[in-house]
Copies of this chain bind each other. A is one copy, B any other.
C-alpha cells in the first residue's frame, strides 16, 4: 500500500497539534511557576519581525485546517486570530482538531488526482494535490510548530525533541 492522503494529512495534523498542545502546557506551567503574565509568554518572538508565539500557534492551526479543507473540499470554519494567552491558544487547537476530525476520511482521500487552487501573495495558484500537500501544506505546518517550540525553548522552557515528536517515541 502506498501512503494515503488521510494518514499523510489528517493523521499528521492530529498528531502534531496534540504535540503542540503539550508543548504549550509546558510553556504555561513555566510561566505560572515564575508568575509571568501569560500574555507576555504568548507575545514572545524569536526576533522583532517574526510572528509572536500566539500567531505561530494560530498559523500552525490554520495550516492544518486549510490543508484538510482544500484537500477534501469541505469548508473550514473561520477563526479570528485574537488569542492572547495559553487557555485561548488551547481552545484554538481544540477547535481546529474538532474540524479536522469531522472531515470524513473518504472526502480527504478524494483529493487524489485533484487540483488545489489557492491565493498566495495576491496571486491565484494551482497545484496538484500531492505537491500541495507534500511541498506546501506540510512544510508550512511544521515551520510554525517548530517555531512555537523554539520560542519557548529559547526562553528557558525545558523542552526536547521528544516533546516535538510526541507519543510516537513512547
- A interface list, Cβ under 8 A from B: 1-5, 7-8, 11-12, 15-16, 46-47, 50, 109, 112-113, 120-121, 125, 127, 130-131, 133-136, 138-140, 142-143, 145-147, 149-150, 153-154, 161, 164-166, 168-170
| With contact pairs A4-B2, A150-B147 given, residues A12 and B125 touching in the complex (Cβ less than 8 Å) | no
Residue of B nearest to A133 (CB): B3
9 sample A-B contacts, Cβ–Cβ < 8 Å, listed by A number: A1-B130, A8-B8, A11-B134, A16-B139, A46-B150, A127-B168, A135-B168, A139-B164, A146-B150
| With contact pairs A135-B165, A143-B161 given, residues A153 and B8 touching in the complex (Cβ less than 8 Å) | no
A46-B46, A46-B154 known; 16 other A-B pairs, CB under 8 Å?
Answer: A1-B2, A1-B113, A2-B3, A3-B5, A7-B134, A8-B134, A11-B134, A16-B139, A46-B153, A120-B169, A135-B165, A135-B166, A136-B165, A139-B165, A142-B146, A143-B146
Residue of B nearest to A127 (CB): B168
* Interface SS majority for chain A: helix
Q: Taking the full assembly, how many copies of this chain does it contain?
A: 2
Chain B positions within 8 Å of A47 at CB level: 153-154
| With contact pairs A46-B153, A50-B153, A142-B146 given, residues A3 and B12 touching in the complex (Cβ less than 8 Å) | no
User: Given the complex of chains A and B, what is the CA–CA distance between A138 and B50 in angstroms?
Assistant: 24
